[in-house]
Amino acid sequence: MLSPSTSGANALSTVVIYSGGMDSYTVLHRAIKEGLEVHALSFDYGQRHSKELNVAKAVCKQHNIPHQIVDIRAIQGLIDNSALTNSDVSMPEGNYAADNLHTTVVPNRNMILLSLAIAKAVNIGAARVDYGAHGGDHILYPDCRPEFVHAMNHVAGIANFDPISLHAPYLELSKADILRDGLAMGLDYRDTWTCYEGRDLACGKCGSCHERLAAFAANNVADPLAYEITSAQANH
């Protein structure tokens, strides 16, 4: 855990950036297990669909977790060269690789979202911001890499009179490791959405579905979500 001094802030309170996906879902419950007062924060930045946000809202309502969805769609025109923010850009399929899924990179996304989450933490007197960067994203997303997280943690410590600690508990771990931790906590992953598409069933073909299914396979557990096609079928 990265932790500058937190004088003036409530060390028992954290803001969790919660997308509704399985990584942030695990981070959210890990913070709850720590006994922290958790404030979930989600963002509508003009992403391709709102299914994750709806899942996040339902989970927070079910568990009585304070939850705020911030509408920042006004910036969509600044970040619309990504397949995740522009439906006119074809969604790539297959496993995570820099030459395959580069069109899913949203420019500067985590710096934007972390900046807003840090502001909320200062505003409510929380000491920490949690987010789900993990080792599996390092190949593709620069804003999930350790050097970025450490740099943002430094900035969070000096940008306000009350320093905030940036906490990325899975920074060096894989999605399979995240899932293993969540299963040990007894979490139900039917309460998550990972697919880049927003249809009734997960597509099973996009990179996000491939990575999720591989994590479940690595843990010898069946994914509770239903798919249009499994990654094994997609590879044939």
Give mean pLDDT, residues 217-227: 97
Among 164, 169, 200, 205, smallest CA distance to 185 is for 169
More confident residue, 26 or 139: 26
Q: Could you count the other beta carbons within 10 Å of the beta carbon of residue 142?
A: 13
Tokens at 65, concatenated: 């977790």
Cβ–Cβ < 8 Å for 95, 139: no
Task: With a cut of 90, say whether residue 229 has pLDDT above it.
Answer: no
Give mean pLDDT, residues 147-163: 96
Among 166, 79, 81, smallest CA distance to 122 is for 166
Task: With a cut of 80, say whether residue 181 has pLDDT above it.
Answer: yes
pLDDT in tens, 3-54: 433 445 677 999 999 999 999 999 999 999 999 999 999 999 999 889 999 9
The pLDDT score that the predictor gives to residue 93 is 66
Give mean pLDDT, residues 185-195: 97
pLDDT in tens, 78-99: 988 887 776 767 766 655 545 5
Give mean pLDDT, residues 62-67: 97
Class of residue 70 by CB neighbours under 10 A (exposed 0-12, middle 13-18, buried 19+): middle
Task: With a cut of 90, say whether residue 189 has pLDDT above it.
Answer: yes
What is this structure's pTM? 0.89
Cβ–Cβ < 8 Å for 156, 164: yes
The pLDDT score that the predictor gives to residue 6 is 44
How far does CA 120 lie from the centroid of its chain? 17
Tokens at 114, concatenated: 């972390």
Look-up: residue for tokens 């924060």? Answer: 41
The pLDDT score that the predictor gives to residue 4 is 39
Secondary structure (DSSP) of 165-228: EEE-TTTTS-HHHHHHHHHHTT--GGG----SS-SSSB-S-BHHHHHHHHHHHHTT---SS-BS
H or E element in which residue 70 lies: strand 67-71
DSSP 73: G
Q: Are strands 67-71 and 165-167 parallel, antiparallel or unpaired?
A: unpaired
Tokens at 141, concatenated: 């997303």
Give mean pLDDT, residues 51-76: 97
Task: With a cut of 50, say whether residue 216 has pLDDT above it.
Answer: yes
Task: With a cut of 50, say whether residue 107 has pLDDT above it.
Answer: yes
Amino acid in position 139: I
Which pLDDT band, with edges at 50, 70 and 90, does 230 fall under? Answer: low
Give mean pLDDT, residues 178-207: 95
Cβ–Cβ < 8 Å for 13, 203: no
φ and ψ at 228, to 5 degrees?
A: -65, -40
